Structure 1
Amino acid sequence: MHGLKLYLVTHHWSRGNRVFGSNLSKIPSRTEFTNIVCTSLDKKFCNFEYCHLKSVNRSYKYFSVKMRLLKIPVTKVKINLGLYQRFSGYRPFLYDVTIDACRFLKNETYNPVANYFYELIRDHSNMNHTCPFDHDLIVEKVTTEFMNHRPKNVLPFAKGDYLMEVNWIGYDINRALTKLYFTLS
């Protein structure tokens, strides 16, 4: 399992039986954002005011995205989220899920996989209410430090390069695509 290493630390005798003790020690895992790309597939429906990765210093990076909705209110939204790992190109890894975002935001337990990824942005976003959306969608300053906790402590991933691809589907038409590239080391 990524993030854990087993060390054999002690041998001792107990009532004539040999007992092995062990100590689980965490290996530091680090997330590093490498790129973010946002593409509007329907410029009459939405566009991106900004979509950037900012490096404040060597250890503090974050990404921010602002999607302008041009036909509001939006009352029917689906999200397709795919996770890919790089092996001679990016290949599907664990998840490719499509959810009804309006239904999910009414009940976050509706889809545990979606909830795992939503928790990455929930506190950094204005997408914390159910439909309709009658405003721009904003995700601000999601840091690598915040991301370090998720793949290390909640659901461990192997070291490597990853792509999180999000298709924003409005009224059953794919309207925008967001790609977040990151490395776990």
Structure 2
Amino acid sequence: MNFQNIAFVTLVDLCILNLLEGRGLDFTNVKCTSLDKTFSDFGYCYLKAENRTYKHLSLRVILYKPPVNQFKVNLALYKRSNGLSPVSFNLTVDGCKMISGHQSPWVNFLFSLFTEHSNINHSCPYNHDIIVDKLPAHFILQKFTSFLPFPEGDYVFSSNWIAYGINRANVRVHISYT
């Protein structure tokens, strides 16, 4: 690689970093609801602001009837605008196949949003509590802006966790993208 190519790549990287720096993604709320408290419950579910620029999400699901050998996840993204309206997806995927990487690139992308910060990193069965630990907003921003252009606004990311054909839990993350 010659000097001109290195200079060009460096310039492009600096431009991308400048664009990302002007953009901001912020977690504004998280709501975790256990729909079957005999099957699972949330030990904790919260947002924490370390400072003005660093906010992260953490949650823990306590499984009362392990092992979980079969589950599906319904994922949806809604934009807030005089109510909630669907944006680009509402899909249900087999959770065990999603984790083993046998899904579409879109599903693999959605799964990559939290795998680095959770213990949901192996295929079924799950015989332990599920933990998402300190998932930072800037990590989500980096993933989304590298995958597709995204319009500014307030969004709700909703996930329904369905085990053995019964909806067991719902997690809603409210996001502001400016």
Could you say which TM-score interval applies, normalised by the shorter chain?
Answer: 0.7 to 0.9
Residue number in structure 1 paired with 2:75: 81
Distance 1:29 1:174 in 2: 35
Q: Which amino acid aligns with 2:105?
A: P
Q: Is the 8 A contact 1:126 1:139 kept in 2?
A: yes
1:111 to partner: Cα distance = 2.2
Gaps of 5+ in 2: 1-14
1:136 to partner: Cα distance = 0.4
1:113 to partner: Cα distance = 2.0
Q: Which amino acid aligns with 2:54?
A: Y
TM-score, normalised on structure 1? Answer: 0.83
Structure 1 or 2: more strand by fraction: 1
Deviating beyond 4 angstroms after TM superposition, the runs of 4 or more aligned structure 1 residues are: none
Q: Is the 8 A contact 2:99 2:111 kept in 1?
A: no
Residue number in structure 2 paired with 1:63: 57
Distance 1:174 1:111 in 2: 23
Distance 1:75 1:157 in 2: 35
Q: Does 1:42 align with 2:36?
A: yes
Residue number in structure 2 paired with 1:164: 157
Matches within 5 A, 1:88-127: 88-106=82-100, 108-127=101-120
Report how many aligned residue pairs link the two structures.
160
Q: Is the 8 A contact 2:28 2:176 kept in 1?
A: yes
Residue number in structure 1 paired with 2:7: none
The equivalent position to 2:175 in structure 1, one of 160, 179, 182, is 182
Residue number in structure 2 paired with 1:150: 143
Distance 2:97 2:141 in 1: 28
1:109 to partner: Cα distance = 4.6
Distance 1:72 1:123 in 2: 23
Distance 2:89 2:136 in 1: 22
Q: Which amino acid aligns with 1:67?
A: V
Q: Is the 8 A contact 1:29 1:152 kept in 2?
A: no
Residue number in structure 1 paired with 2:24: 30
Q: 2:132 aligns to what SS in structure 1?
A: strand
Q: 2:112 aligns to what SS in structure 1?
A: helix
Residue number in structure 1 paired with 2:131: 138
Bigger radius of gyration: 1
Structure 1 or 2: more helix by fraction: 2
Gaps of 5+ in 1: 1-24
TM-score, normalised on structure 2? Answer: 0.87
